[in-house]
Structures are given as C-alpha cells and as structure tokens.
Amino acid sequence: MKPIKPVYEQINNEIESIQKGIQIIAVTKQVGVERTKEAIDAGIQHLGENRPEGLIAKREALSSDVQWHFIGTLQSRKVKDVINQIDYLHSLDRLSLAKEIQKRADRPVNCFVQVNVSQEESKSGLAPEETVQFVKSLEHFDKIRVVGLMTMAPNTSDEETVRRVFKGLKALQLKVAAENWEHAPCTECSMGMSNDYLIAAQEGATFVRIGTALVGTESEV
C-alpha cells in the first residue's frame, strides 16, 4: 500500500482548494491497527469505524488523542458497547436508538441524524420530509446533541445525481440550523466518501468520510 502521509496531504490540498476547514475522517474499517497508527502519525485526527468490534479493538490498541466516529448502522443492543467510546455518531435515524443512547451515555454525544436523501431502499436513514420533526422530537434527550446531518449518495458515475443528493442534505441542514434549537445546533454536514468527496466539498460538506482512497485496504498488502 502507498504511504498514507503524501496521499493525505494531496487529498487535503484538493479539499482545501475548494473549502477550508473541512474535516477528513479516515475510515479505517478495512485496515488493521498498524495501518491506523500510520494514519494518526500522518496527522489525521478523525478516525471512523462502522463495526463495534473494530472500533473497540483499535481504540484500546491506540492510546492517542484522536476523535473517534462511528459511521455505521448502530443496533440498539450494541449501544452500550459503543456510545461511551466515541466522539461522534453518524447514524442516528430512529427514536428507539435515541432512547437507548439516552439510557446508556455517560455524557452528551455529538450525533449526526442520518437522512436517506436519495430515498434508495438499500440505504438507512430518515426521509427528508421527516427530518426536521425528528430533530425537534429529540429536544428532551439531554445525552444527544445534534451537530449535523449525514447522508450517502448513490454509487453512480452520474455526477449530477450525486450533486443533487448533497445539495438536498445541505438545504435540510440549513433548515434545521435556522430553528436555533439549543439541542440541535446542526452546523455540520457529513457527506462524501472515496469516490465523491470533492463533489461533497463543493456542495457544503464539513466532514468527509474517506476510506480506500486514503488508507487503502489490507488486501493490497
């Protein structure tokens, strides 16, 4: 695999040329502890995992001052294992999950509400028209802080389709932010992955989640 540092610097420069201040999350789900450590040593401060086991194993092995993001679907029964190990959750999409977080979290958790902007059956997340009301319904959950919204674009080479999804999320994020709810500042947009992060940056992402394009996969070793 390629050394991470020059790849990270190149990606960061590309993104910064579009919009400064976007946080790059290195999605390390397909690499091991050593490769993840290399990412930290390259200066990456945000790491993302989508399985509880991978998150816990890496967090225990790597005593470093990084921010941990859980980016996968979180089953309610796994909340107790994960919620106090992370800095951000990117997949809050149902009231039952919110209730379990409220029950298990030791402190307020930064949460992204997941929205299925493309309305694909294969994707999790709220319908766009449900989003504002869902965020409002969380106002009495003092362990949940809605920092933003998250979506995934369709896996397609049609750039306009991808762009339309990202524009839709940005518009929703601004709509929620305009409510000025104390529990939901909703200033952030988590969107864009290895194949579409530049489009996401152009459309207002504040966090991008990059895996294979940044850290590769262990199968490349």
Separation of alpha carbons 120 and 197, rounded Å: 20
Work out the end-to-end distance of the chain between its first and last CA atoms, rounded to an integer number of angstroms. Answer: 6
For residue 40, is it within any domain? yes
For residue 47, is it within any domain? yes
Which pTM was predicted? 0.95
For residue 220, is it within any domain? no
Q: What are 33-42's pLDDT values in tens digits?
A: 999 999 999 9
Confidence of residue 143 (pLDDT cuts 50, 70, 90): very high
Domains in the chain, number: 1
Q: What is the DSSP letter of 148?
A: E
Angle at 55 between CA 49 and CA 57, to 5 degrees: 145
- 24: buried, middle or exposed (CB in 10 Å: 19+, 13-18, 0-12)? buried
For residue 54, is it within any domain? yes
The range of the structural domain enclosing residue 107 comes to: 4-215
For residue 67, is it within any domain? yes
Count of Cβ atoms closer than 10 Å to residue 90 Cβ: 28
Q: What are 51-105's pLDDT values in tens digits?
A: 999 999 999 999 778 999 999 999 999 999 999 999 999 999 999 999 999 999 9
3-state DSSP assignment of residue 115: strand
For residue 82, is it within any domain? yes
For residue 139, give the CATH number of its domain.
Answer: 3.20.20.10
For residue 221, is it within any domain? no
Separation of alpha carbons 184 and 217, rounded Å: 35
Beta-strand ranges (E) seen in 64-206 are 67-70, 88-92, 109-114, 144-150, 188-190
For residue 127, is it within any domain? yes
Give which of 102, 100, 48, 108 is closest to 77, Cα–Cα.
100
